[in-house]
Structure 1
């Protein structure tokens, strides 16, 4: 009897072994897509586009090693709903990874998909107690998938937004802002109501968002699929999708007219968008523009060609090239900063994977200085209330570059922890610094003294977005603050009476043309303005300087 039992047991083992080999053989015949579809597509999408879980396209996982992906598939991720797939063989996991690395083809995301993705929230309204919208600064805490709303040194609100990366945009009335994610979601936060109102998914892989100057439309540029989606801004309903044959660099709005522009990174083409009629027009260029910004007075496009071998400047209206200079290392033009000094306008930019920044004079268009900052940084920032450029160099050092002498001094905000990106409050009194670590910090400093006022613990804090400093519309006004400090504050105060009338009173009484006439020719203008005598000297200012100082004066009209 025992012999029969052991014989049957042995035969059973043989059958089980044969069955396992048959299953393994069948499994080995399955493609990576078949295995992915069975176990992963419910959350990550049939096209790897991401549904309840993040997208698994090559552009999203390129920084993850195969070993890291294998560990995630087998053992899951802590604090997520992803299950463990530890029962999959090493061969099956390898096939899934190979499929995830394969190029994305024919990714679809239709207008109907966009509409169906919309989610409305009904969280309780709350009063944030905002005193001055111009000093509102948004902070992206990437490691925690959160956005902070700050005013001066205080945190007014924090809210979660999955896969938040950067590129937040305010409406010009200061009542709302919009949060984009790399995987195509756009959230609408009401500063009046202190809450996220709704969100919608524009596409699978989003490049950036922009708003028309009248605030009616929101534009989302997409890399997957390649298109621009136009939304009714107030309710995030898609009104148009425009297919584009190429990789969009970024779309930027103009404030001087109802127009937006974007270029393609892989084709020598520029598009103009009429933000009233939503008409798209294509124009040829001599070379593709990989990255660009629009100058503060909206007359020029400053861009770099593919691989960053040169800097090119084009007139916006004619698209005629007016300046061309070779350069070493691709500039990070999106992170450029601007300032005015002694009658000249400047910008500075870091260079990717290069240990220097460069300083350029605008409008006369020339390289002023190449400055070694000791490492490969990503951001450079300044404000009229600071005498320095604030630069990160990939280490724990904050590099301060004197805007007059270009001399350097260095501060270490947190020893051994990487510092990145400074932003300033609208009035420039506060500086916000990110300590770019999972056990990092958001530091609030007094700009002029470098005194630390607050230290907030933060998980990989990165971009910070002040209402004034992140809107090109206000750049001339910031130049005007520098002009005021150079030429006006001996006689004028912004809101109080001094030797001359305060700017607040001038803004209420005078038109812009009257201000300009008084600045240029006070001898012949003072009587027209009702003054009994003139004690103001004439100032020979350029049209850009006049726009800057009058923009600054007009900012005090309601103060």
Structure 2
């Protein structure tokens, strides 16, 4: 009997031990699976998305950012990339490996804290040595982001004047309007300060863990950094990078853009139906309710309207900045990439064009008498479109090796291939429009400089994944009316006037030096009654029936020749 009891006890103990062993084994197996997902993430994803999933050049991959994306969709994104983004494909990974990464991305993360004390402690002085990099005309200075090499170039015309390294640089560089400095943001929250007059990257500071964009007050004294992690707006002194304030917000900021007509900036939320106006002097935030969120937007060249997308890009909506009343709305297919919208003037009207994400077309819109003019198939998913008054074309990319040229007169298409088999993206122009800069978006890529009117190649530079390019004139909205004025000059003034030389009428440089703005306007709209006051014996200038926006544009263009 004792033997039987002992045998039963041994059997029960053995079964219990085996059960514990199985449970331990299963737990260890699950832990191993979790660890393998983390290890795969660190190996393939962390360089762009941060080892703690906080985001670097790529967005943060924490559960709060991924909750609306299914496991199946995440799997597909990892395997096949995401159209019109810079993410590579990982189709060499097995489905099991990808599922392990997805499972790891769903694991919770601790609360991310980045307060004013963290910000202050992150400050770093970089270079104390001043030098002259040889800038002749700030208006033709362009900045180039070489993303694959973590570098920024400073170019003037076809020459590279300087370059510097800046880890995780992605785009969104901002100039001060005096042309003395620019600022470099990164997705992981750093802001660098480069002095153009001193030829050096002076210092840097980290605003947050994941940064959306930066903007400057119109007087250039303050930097505004919008942050997705933690959700906040951080304000800095632009000269010292000293943090002035950190204002927490509840929502994902789409972007913050400054106004040049008043001391104000505007931002919206992607996930909340609210718009915020910021007084850039007092730092007061005023919240306004909207009927639906504005996910992406730009401000028109005359700072009267907000042009935005709503309902996941299915609708284009236009609001008055002053009243916030909706003045126009149109259903659309595919999210328009409004950040890359481009503008031009033709035959008394103003236009903008935008590519559409995941759709193979560019749309043309008439501004102010708001309407859709044309939908143009460009043969692929484009990301950027750009033009300049010196060019007869819109320059667009379509996701492959083709440069798409859209004639601004009849919207006909011409295709060119800058480098066979290598992806072309993003054209930028010099301030005067003589040069066009093209990015060949590959690790063994190039930056190509063309003469914009003849397409003659001037020079090409090796570049590791060159992306955004930022010209001083073309990237500051305050100069957009002047660019329109260049087109108005070509249409209405060139027969009698030259910019710097005497023609039938006086040169613009002389007019700008001798006359104030009121005298210039009077002579344009009513020369019959103003010619005597300007010292002429007779009037030979016709009156021009220009609207307010045309008049501002041509006057801005004339005044730009004052010191030339």
TM-score range, shorter chain: 0.7 to 0.9
Instruction: Compute the TM-score of the two structures, normalised by the length of structure 2.
Output: 0.85
- Residues 50, 463 of structure 1: CA spacing in aligned structure 2 closer, same or farther, 3 A cutoff? closer
Partner of residue 323, structure 2: 318
- Deviation string for 1:412-471 (max 9, x for gaps)? 100111110000000000000001111111000000000111110111111000000000
Note the C-alpha offset of 1:21: 11
Partner of 1:555: 560
Matched, 1:338 2:355: no
Q: CA deviation at 1:122?
A: 2.6
Aligned to 1:76: none
Aligned residue number for residue 371 of structure 2: 366
After TM superposition, the structure 1 = structure 2 runs for residues 25-104 of structure 1, keeping only pairs within 5 Å, are 48-49=53-54, 57=62, 98-102=103-107, 104=109
CA distance in 2, matches of 1:365, 1:181: 35
Where 2:134 maps in the other structure, the secondary structure is: coil
Determine which of 118, 131, 134 is the counterpart of 1:113.
118
1:408–1:45 distance in 2 versus 1, CA, 3 Å: closer
Listed as ranges, the matches of 1:102-501 within 5 Å are: 102=107, 104=109, 106-501=111-506
Q: Which residue of 1 aligns with 2:69?
A: none
1:105 CA drift (Å): 5.4
Give the whole-Å Cα distance in 1 for the aligned partners of 2:371 and 2:502: 41
Q: How far has the Cα of 1:126 moved from its partner?
A: 2.2
What secondary structure does 2:509 align onto? helix
> Please, which of 514, 520, 542 is the counterpart of residue 515 of structure 1?
520
1:27–1:92: 8 Å Cα contact kept in structure 2?
no
Residue 496 of structure 1: how far off its partner (Å): 1.4
Query: Post-superposition shift, 1:499?
Result: 1.1
Q: Which residue of 2 aligns with 1:5?
A: none
The partner residue of 2:510 within 500, 505, 518 is: 505
Quote how far apart the aligned CAs of 1:309 are: 1.0
Distance 1:287 1:272 in 2: 17
| Alpha-carbon separation, structure 1, partners of 2:140 and 2:332 | 36
Q: Quick one: distance in 2 between partners of 1:190 and 1:101?
A: 43
Structure 1 segments of 4 or more deviating over 3 A? 20-37, 43-51, 53-60, 62-68, 91-105
Is the 2:317–2:329 contact (alpha carbons within 8 Å) kept by the matching residues of 1?
A: yes
Say if 1:265 and 1:306, in contact at 8 Å, map to a contact too.
no
**In structure 2, C-alpha distance between the alignment counterparts of 1:374 and 1:268, rounded to whole Å:** 35
Q: CA deviation at 1:104?
A: 4.6
Residues 136/36 of structure 1: CA separation in 2 closer, same or farther (3 Å cut): same
Taking only aligned residues, the RMSD between alpha carbons, in angstroms, comes to 3.0
Structure 1 residue 67: Cα displacement? 9.0
Distance across 2 between alignment mates of 1:63 and 1:240: 40
Q: Is the 8 A contact 1:299 1:316 kept in 2?
A: yes
TM-fit CA distance, 1:103: 5.3
Cα shift at 1:192 = 1.1
Q: CA deviation at 1:310?
A: 1.1
Q: Is the 8 A contact 1:140 1:147 kept in 2?
A: yes
Q: How far did residue 529 of structure 1 move?
A: 1.1
CA distance in structure 2 between the partners assigned to 1:384 and 1:302 by the alignment: 22
Q: What is the rounded CA distance, in whole Å, between the counterparts of 1:552 and 1:63 in structure 2?
A: 52
Secondary structure class of the residue paired with 1:206: strand
SS at match of 1:289: coil
Residue 99 of structure 1, CA deviation: 3.7
Structure 2: how far apart are the matches of 1:373 and 1:26? Answer: 54
Provide TM-score, normalisation by structure 1: 0.86
Question: Cα offset for 1:329?
Answer: 1.1
| Number of residue-to-residue matches in the alignment | 515
Q: Is the 8 A contact 2:355 2:362 kept in 1?
A: yes
1:255 match: secondary structure: coil
8 Å CA contact 2:211–2:227 kept in 1: the answer is: yes
- Any stretches of 5+ residues in structure 2 without a counterpart? 1-20, 67-73, 81-95
Paired residue for 1:10?
Answer: none
Structure 1: 5+ residue stretches without partners: 1-19, 69-90
Q: Confirm or deny: 8 A CA contact 2:37 2:102 kept in the other structure.
A: no
Per-residue Cα deviation, 1:192-233 (whole angstroms, up to 9, x for no partner): 111110111101110000000001110000111111101111
Distance 1:64 1:136 in 2: 41
